[in-house]
Amino acid sequence: MNKNAVKKGLLPYLTLLLFFIGTIILMDTLNQKTNKLNYDKFMKSLNKGEVTELTIIPRSGASVYELKGKMKNYNENEIFSLKVPLSEEIMAKILDSQEIYKFKLKTINDPDSSMFKLFLFNVLPILIMAGIALYFIMKQMGGANKSMDFGRSRARLSSGNKKVTFKDVAGLTEEKEEVSELIDFLKSPAKFQKLGARIPKGVLLVGPPGTGKTLLARSVAGEANVPFYYISGSEFVELFVGVGASRVRDMFKQAKQTAPCLIFIDEIDAVGRQRGSGIGGGHDEREQTLNQLLTEMDGFGANEGIIIIAATNRPDVLDPALLRPGRFDRQVTVNLPDVKGREEILEVHAKGKTFVKGVKLSNIAKRTVGFSGADLENLLNEAALLTVRRNKEAITMAEIDEAHDRVLMGPAKKSHKYTEKEKKVVAYHEAGHAVVGIKLEGANDVQKITIVPRGAAGGYNLMLPKEETYLSTKKELLETISGLLGGRVSEELVFNEITTGAHNDFEKATKIARAMVTEYGMSELGPVQFEHQESSVFLGRDYNKSQNFSIQVANEIDEQVRKIIHEQYEVTKKILSENKDLLDLIANTLLEYETITKEQIEYLVEHGCMPDEDEEKDESDFKELSLEDLTLTELKDLAKEKNIKGYSKMNKEELIKELDK
């Protein structure tokens, strides 16, 4: 625990305690009524026997006694006080009266002669009151200083408690090689200066969210073992014009004192957007901040040993002056990981987690196309949470599979009940996608089919590319469209009716077809790009598209998009008509099992039935799960182990009832 924090926390309470002590002492003094008597009146009261208490206090340094006491008619908090000359005659009269009337008589030493009592009764109350006043004054001054402190840099210096190195960064092999030069320069700058080489002043990390840009920047600082300042771009911009520029100056001033060092600016697009554009004029505060940043990075002043690393997922909106050589000299693109990178990332995040034998991270990597590093971390975390929820001691593929579906589609709605007709329609819809994926080489490969509702979808068909490639051919795009249309065509062929279940399929298919016509030049209109994104930064990235064509060409584009969709619709209808038996087989299997995997689909296509697992499963494999969590196949296997008669013809609810007995 921070001792300074403890002291700061106790200081107000100690001050408050002293305040109460001083208040009590002061109140006692103020509440006591003191009557000033003269000598004659005191002697009259003494001779009449009206004095009940008397205290004699000799005063050092003065030839007087101070007399304090009470009379018979006084209240509890009322006393008298007077001073008399130092005389044996007066003392004799007091003693004679005390012998007659027997009142309380007490003689004490002079309190002025005791330094402690002098401090306690005279100095301490004044000090307490002065301390309280000083405390509140300093507090007000501190608040005023803070209000005037908004020009200070908000960059925070990373502590060395959680040091990140390249070992903690997986799946970014080429990216780590790009930034390794920065580490060499920070460790031994003389090696570069000897040959006249100038290290990049700034490195811009560009890529989708969650791909590890911030982690890569932290690892550079960890490998170089230098101070690492980090700040968000939004922390520069404030209400008052000039504050952001002041913070930039202060940030570089701090960095110079600890050079060589690294400065990491996250989401730099918040402050580095293009200047002088937008409706309604510019933004003076943000533009001044950007101008100051440009000056500090490559102006008249030298910032030797300071390297800036910035991250953004929107490089298209950045000001060109920020990206020129001498400022951000190098751009490092941090893309989504491929299958090898995903496996490496999974190995990093699998540390500290317990898996059963047989769980292969390589298989998980193949099924997670398009996942970022953050997505993969979330996948394994969801699997671990499910494992705890199911009271299991190790993560199995069942939890990973469920976590994968949760991340993509949301939790399964087990309580949702289909009507028999809806269930059959969904089964044939998903089977239509599967058949087209099986029969067309360029269509996406079906990894899993389920008719259990998830999220807003009534069913779920996981279709992934057969191979991860950088380019797509026209044939592959057309066959992908056919795969998306398989659900609607299947509904039309079997039920002679169509439903709303294919709306998302149409959205994806239309987007691909329009891109083929307007961007890829894959239509009868020729290799011409008709549409491209307008760089209208302040209107929003997707607000406007540049359309360099006439109304007649726009009509032709619409015709070409419709032609592509209609032609592939006919291709899909022909495939499903020719493979009606396979369509019925997969749909009926889905109605019985609800969920089937890629391996089961392949066996189904080859043998015409679901695989019969001859290997006996130990009953302990199912003890960790509740019966409701098991699939129909697992329930039948468990019923077979328990020798339940007629189990093969039972549905899921009947099997659960029999196994519960």
- As annotated, the active-site residues are 430
Half-sphere exposure of 583 (CA within 13 A, CB side): 26
Which residues have CB under 8 Å from 492's CB, separation 6+? 498, 573
* Residue length of the chain: 661
In terms of Cα–Cα distance, which of 646, 639, 640, 634 is closest to 610? 634
The Cα–Cα gap between 283 and 208 comes to 27
The Cα–Cα gap between 577 and 574 comes to 5
CB burial class (10 A; 0-12, 13-18, 19+) of residue 301? exposed
For 405, phi then psi, to 5°, come to -65, -35
The Cα–Cα gap between 651 and 593 comes to 9
Beta strands 228-232 and 104-107, pairing class? unpaired
The Cα–Cα gap between 34 and 55 comes to 14
Cβ atoms within 10 A of the Cβ of 97, count?
A: 20
User: Angle at CA 206, nearest 5°, toward 159 and 514?
Assistant: 150
The Cα–Cα gap between 205 and 268 comes to 10
- The answer to whether the CB of 568 falls within 8 A of the CB of 418 is no
Identify the sign of the CA torsion 264, 267, 273, 279. negative
- What is the end-to-end Cα distance of the chain in Å, rounded? 57
The Cα–Cα gap between 22 and 20 comes to 5
Half-sphere exposure of 562 (CA within 13 A, CB side): 6
The Cα–Cα gap between 598 and 463 comes to 10
Q: What residue type is assigned to position 485 of the chain?
A: L
Reported as type and span, the H/E element at residue 589 is helix 580-593
Helix ranges (H only) for 390-531 are 397-409, 420-439, 474-495, 503-518
The Cα–Cα gap between 65 and 475 comes to 119
User: What angle, rounded to 10 degrees, do the helices at 652-660 and 632-641 form?
Assistant: 40
